[in-house]
Structure 1
Amino acid sequence: MCELLAMSANTPTDLCFSFTGLTRRGGDTGPHKDGWGVAFYEGKGVRAFHDVDASANSRIAEVVQTTPIKSEVAICHIRQANVGAICLANTHPFQRELWGRYWVFAHNGQISGFRPTPGFYEPVGSTDSESLFCDILNHLRRDCGRDTPTETIVAHLVALAQGYARAGVFNLLLSNGDWLFTFCSTKMASITRRAPFGPARLKDADVIVDFESETTPDDVVSVIVTEPLTTDEVWDIYRPGEWRLWRKGEVVMSGKDEAG
């Protein structure tokens, strides 16, 4: 399986600390050595980095770790290949345009033999993950529109995610730059940091950060991951079938598939 990382914040914030912890799991403290990618929203634009090398040894990952790219929404993925060759076309997160916005998607799990609904969006690579992304967008493009309320779009996303999860493992990160939708099929955890801020220590690297010195009293920063990244903070563990919609670092909608 792969590992996921996302951030939702109410002010442009860098991901250096959390990204450093995650990259160690890509070929060092974990087996996810088959490539990695990260996407940072900057307004309606996206700054994306992908590499087929293990993140623990990637020079590109080293640049991202040490460059404070500030964003309100970011999505990251480290890959342990199950379906599809190790190549850039199969490296998450995937990105497509819909209704004048870039949508970014990353998936942890596997749905054997999945085939997307025929439509406008087609996968470039050979992963079930990208096929699932195209399937989601084809459904949204068919059933919703540019002015469809967010609540209606989320209801479609929840129904689709629940169906995918019943067919296999489907842990999801999806954003259009305004909000971040997360769905847990098996494993997911989150933490929301707000004043009063304190220090935190990574599990996978000898790194400590004092968030008080890096933030203002008004900052709200939430991090969503497959497995908790720090040893001295209390993480909120998702239940299987649980979904949350994040905006500006806060949960604005949530629910649970009782059949999940």
Structure 2
Amino acid sequence: MCQLLGMNCNTPTDIVFSFTGFATRAGRTGEHVDGWGIAFFEGAGVRHFVDHEPALVSPVADLIRRYPIKSKNVIAHIRKATVGSVALENCHPFIRELWGQYWVFAHNGDLRDYHPRLGGRYRPVGGTDSERAFCWILDHLAQRYDTHPGAHAIADVLAELAPAIAAHGTFNFMLSDGVALYAHCSTRLHYLVRQHPFATASLSDDEVSVDFSQVTTQDDRVAVIVTEPLTANETWNGFKPGELMMFVDGAPALVRQVGGRA
């Protein structure tokens, strides 16, 4: 299946180090070769890059590895296709507008016989179960609230909806509005928080190390969320199956158990 990578920070930060290791899993240390994508929130805007080529060889991915785009919220995805063809429209993350702001979503898993009724404004463009789930979630949010109800209210809705989707299979996902990053685990997700005192981190999938004490301030705080740990010399925290977490300003702001694996 696919893999997810997310970053939530208290100050704009680049994801070059983490993405370098993550992209290596798209053909060298992993089989996730059916497309990739990444989205960076910048103010009210989003820089959104997708490619149906493997991230390991994509010239667009090479740009991301070389260009330190700084953001407080990032979601990335490398795809191993299960539902939907290998095509640009099926590459995660997906992006939509709700309440006058962008929302970004990516999913890892396989939802069997998942065909929700989509009666609102949101329709999938591609053929993935993931995009259908995203549209269904946004339909529910739009029906319940006329304006953004706040991060904790969003978490309440996700805690209600996630088990219904996960009943169809595996539903590891990340969702962000540029302020909070929500992550739900059906099977496997991990996270860590980097903060002062910073140390050197070494990638598991590539011979790259960074001494974060040389490129950060003592006030910086960065949460990295990923399917499988990216480094071998840091302590990663595993999500429990059925756990929903909300990250704000580089730290967990909410942890909720909403159900186990179907």
- TM (norm. structure 1) is 0.98
Counterpart in the other structure of 2:162: 161
What is the CA-CA distance between 1:37 and the residue it aligns to? 0.2
Within-5 A mapping of 1:29-178: 29-118=29-118, 119-178=120-179
Aligned-residue CA RMSD in angstroms?
Answer: 1.0
What is the CA-CA distance between 1:149 and the residue it aligns to? 3.5
The gaps in structure 2 that reach 5 residues or longer are none
* Count, aligned residues: 260
What is the CA-CA distance between 1:178 and the residue it aligns to? 1.0
Counterpart in the other structure of 2:11: 11
* Kept after mapping to 2: 8 A contact 1:200/1:230: yes
Counterpart in the other structure of 1:209: 210
CA displacement 1:98-133 (0-9 Å, x = unmatched): 001100000000111211332210000000000000
What is the CA-CA distance between 1:167 and the residue it aligns to? 2.0
What is the CA-CA distance between 1:253 and the residue it aligns to? 1.2
* Kept after mapping to 1: 8 A contact 2:241/2:260: no
| Cα distance in 2 between the residues matched to 1:95 and 1:172 | 14
Aligned partner of residue 171 in structure 2, secondary structure: strand
Q: Please tell me the residue identity of whatever aligns with 1:173.
A: M
Runs of 4+ displaced beyond 4 Å: none
Counterpart in the other structure of 2:248: 247
Aligned partner of residue 57 in structure 1, secondary structure: coil
What is the CA-CA distance between 1:28 and the residue it aligns to? 1.1
Q: Please tell me the residue identity of whatever aligns with 1:222.
A: A
| Cα distance in 1 between the residues matched to 2:58 and 2:260 | 40
| Cα distance in 1 between the residues matched to 2:105 and 2:45 | 15
Aligned partner of residue 50 in structure 1, secondary structure: strand
| Cα distance in 2 between the residues matched to 1:233 and 1:117 | 43
* Kept after mapping to 2: 8 A contact 1:31/1:80: yes
Percent identity at matched positions? Answer: 48
The gaps in structure 1 that reach 5 residues or longer are none
